[in-house]
Each structure stands twice: as C-alpha cells, then as structure tokens.
Structure 1
C-alpha cells in the first residue's frame, strides 16, 4: 500500500514524513550492508586464525618438543657430570 498520496494531503508535514521514511530506509540499508561486510570479514579472519593454528600445531609444536627434549638431555648430562 502506497501511503504517499495520503501523506501528501497533509502538505509540508506529509512531505517531511515521506523524506524521513526514505532516509530511514537508506540508512537501514547501509547499516545492513555494513553488517554483512563485517560479518564476512570476521568469517575470513576466523578461517585465517584456524589456518595459523593448524600451522603451529603441524610445524612449530614438533620443533618445540625436540628443542625441549634436547635441553632436558643437556641438563641431565650436566647434572650427571657434576656428581
């Protein structure tokens, strides 16, 4: 139902209500589009975090484990030599 002719009979007040309605519609549309863009960006960032987490688990943790074991062995050898 188009309310523009009904509001037009109220003169300036009707015109202001029509313009206010259009402005609200445009602002709501912009806000909705911005929300969609931010949600898409957040989804991409979440995927990137998951990728980096997998990379750390696959590559860094084994290296860290080997380094920790080497330090432990070196400390054990040093303590053995002290006694």
Structure 2
C-alpha cells in the first residue's frame, strides 16, 4: 500500500463514528421525519446534503427464490404476486 493509502486508512480509523454518536446525530432527523412526513419517507445523508425520497409503491421480494424463478415476488402472507 502506498504512503498516501496508509494515511487515508489511518485517518478513517481516527475519525471513526461510534454507534452512540450516530444515534445522537440521527435523533433530530428521525424526529422531524416522524412529525412532518409519513413512514414511507427515506432520508439519504451524503456529503453536504440530505435527500428525502418518497416511496410510491413497494413490495417485499422473496429472498429464498428457487433457480429459474428469479422474477417471482411474494406478498407478505406468502401468496405469489405473479
């Protein structure tokens, strides 16, 4: 690894965010979203911006699909949606 690569890796470790710090930082945003938006709102925090994304529709995808049935989507109660 180059010297620059080692410095970048070291600085990432030195600036590690603890779980408790993350929880404390997230609380005000979560509170705001609960008060002003609905449960389908997702906040994406990146760099110097926060992006709010509103889901229009969603469905769970069965994670234990058998080979050859890659496009099968199931309802929560197990019924096939296709």
Give me the TM-score of the superposition, normalised by structure 2.
0.30
Q: Which has the higher strand share?
A: 2
Greater helix content? 1
Greater Cα radius of gyration, structure 1 or 2: 1
